Structure 1
């Protein structure tokens, strides 16, 4: 006798799909936010062009050990004659020691981009910390912090950076520190204004009424709301940091043991390339600095426009 089939399951008794946990829901929201951000960012043609240029320079910097090798910095094993004009062997000519300028520009991208990125991160971190704390605590603490910020704001940034780089040892860490601790005031003022706007909203009062402390309010409510501003400010400061690094290196305050775009300009000045008409010694690193700074500026403006639609800027 055949076995009887099990009774059909009623629709109300059908197993429901498992519910996603809070962490999975958070990741879904982040993915949707990233997708919306990219869709809006793609409408800014200049921003896409800047991003493509930065991607190219990043690939060049990352692959420099494979494409040109670290031997390109060697002065004793230079393959060419000093100050040789561009040729098939040396497309951008040679420097005062006979090293290939193409290889030096490629290798120098690693130092210039690294210093610009780290200095910008340090600057934005200091500015965001001071801006959030001054906007949250207010009172005498905010007054003192803002007066210090105003002092740094009115002082010439380059002069302060030169002073720090002069009294400290000549190294990449000194350059990063000198740029980072002198360029944060603008970020601090912007973040403080945004913090005041966020803390005036009703849900902040509810969080405090439910027992949320200072750290909870600043980290869970204020910081996520100011992060878009911090991100946009970071992309804008990187270009300024790269220019500042090139300026300090050009003035002879950089690390003489590493190759950077600013250091190449300093070497060209010392070698008399300007008076001798050796344009190939000056143009490549100068163009590289200008293009990277412009690319970061275009990306920063596009990010700022996407994250703050009230600007109404179409790049």
Structure 2
């Protein structure tokens, strides 16, 4: 008679937090890891949705991302041409043109929707370059230490002291005017803060006892940095990414407004530059200036709210602050 059917031996019940075994056999390490990741994602979302500001920011961010992805379906390329515009110049908002027209007769709403593609692409790509560079320098400096760490940190301090916008303008002025130039200029100038934060987190992680045990068992530098340090700094990098995307979008708009962007593409900063050059301020054509400016402000606010919410989720000391 088995233990489960013997009345004298109570049947064992699985612990509530135990990882369930797949049907038909014992749990495999891959199944256990997959179940733990699923539970971690569910726990993360339960904590994130308690932050109303973070949910509001996420909703706004998803709206702009969907608009950027659907822009080719909403706006026809011919509507952005200056040779055959659909309306008259400087038409005020109406049923046909909800946000009015620009000095060429193009719909400002179409320009804002199409400009979201360039602005969001530059923001995400430049942030990825900046965060990746900062994470690499921060982990290497924190892991190896010594004179190499000192040199990397002095270079980081030099970039921190320099005005970021001035350095980005200098790089954009030297290189050719293109979207890639703007991405490189923002990515190269915005990484020092991430490097500092990641280095501090790396030093804290490598002071833990399990890192010493891993070294005693023969773990090399690459194993420790990729399997132990990087997973522990990923929450910090994720929160830093959401905060930096807003800064990258604002910097891209600033560079485009100053004439450093690609003149052949439509972006929110480029729309503001065209409005200034066309004399929209002195002419009182507010519908040419206000929509792209509001789009920049709302997207930056959405990313900032998401970043603050992620900080509250990953940092237990901030969870009570809403």
Give the TM-score normalised by structure 1.
Answer: 0.94
CA contact (8 A) 1:273 1:282 kept: yes
Q: Post-superposition shift, 1:257? A: 0.7
CA contact (8 A) 1:84 1:94 kept: yes
- 2:169 is aligned to 162
- 1:104 is aligned to 111
Cα distance in 2, alignment partners of residues 44 and 119 from structure 1? 28
SS of the residue corresponding to residue 120 of structure 1 reads helix
SS of the residue corresponding to residue 181 of structure 1 reads helix
* Mapping for residues 252-267 of structure 1, pairs under 5 Å: 252-267=259-274
Counterpart among 256, 269, 273 of residue 276 in structure 2? 269
Instruction: Give yes or no for the alignment of 1:11 onto 2:21.
Output: no
Cα distance in 2, alignment partners of residues 313 and 169 from structure 1? 48
CA contact (8 A) 2:79 2:86 kept: no
Cα distance in 2, alignment partners of residues 70 and 111 from structure 1? 15
Listed one character per residue, the Cα deviations across residues 266-305 of structure 1 (whole Å, up to 9, x for unaligned) are 0000001001111011000000000000000000000011
Q: Post-superposition shift, 1:70? A: 2.4
RMSD, aligned α-carbons: 1.4
Cα distance in 2, alignment partners of residues 135 and 222 from structure 1? 10
Counterpart among 174, 182, 188 of residue 195 in structure 2? 188
Listed one character per residue, the Cα deviations across residues 188-245 of structure 1 (whole Å, up to 9, x for unaligned) are 0000000000000000001001110000000000000000000000000000000000
Q: Post-superposition shift, 1:72? A: 2.5
Q: Which runs of 5+ in 1 are unaligned?
A: 1-9
SS of the residue corresponding to residue 189 of structure 2 reads coil
Cα distance in 2, alignment partners of residues 192 and 117 from structure 1? 23
Counterpart among 75, 82, 87 of residue 82 in structure 2? 75
Cα distance in 1, alignment partners of residues 78 and 128 from structure 2? 30
Instruction: Give yes or no for the alignment of 1:49 onto 2:56.
Output: yes
- 2:122 is aligned to 115
SS of the residue corresponding to residue 137 of structure 2 reads helix
Q: Which runs of 5+ in 2 are unaligned?
A: 6-22
Instruction: Give yes or no for the alignment of 1:39 onto 2:46.
Output: yes
Counterpart among 291, 294, 305 of residue 287 in structure 1? 294
Which portions of structure 1, spanning 4 or more consecutive aligned residues, are displaced by more than 2 angstroms? 10-14, 69-72, 311-315
Q: Post-superposition shift, 1:313? A: 4.7
Q: Post-superposition shift, 1:312? A: 3.9
Give the TM-score normalised by structure 2.
Answer: 0.92
CA contact (8 A) 1:44 1:314 kept: no
Q: How many pairs were matched up?
A: 305
- 1:233 is aligned to 240
Q: Post-superposition shift, 1:12? A: 6.4
Counterpart among 145, 149, 158 of residue 151 in structure 1? 158
SS of the residue corresponding to residue 243 of structure 1 reads helix
Q: Post-superposition shift, 1:55? A: 0.9
CA contact (8 A) 2:313 2:319 kept: no
Listed one character per residue, the Cα deviations across residues 98-126 of structure 1 (whole Å, up to 9, x for unaligned) are 11101110111111111101111111000
Cα distance in 1, alignment partners of residues 320 and 240 from structure 2? 16
Q: Post-superposition shift, 1:311? A: 2.5
Q: Post-superposition shift, 1:27? A: 1.3
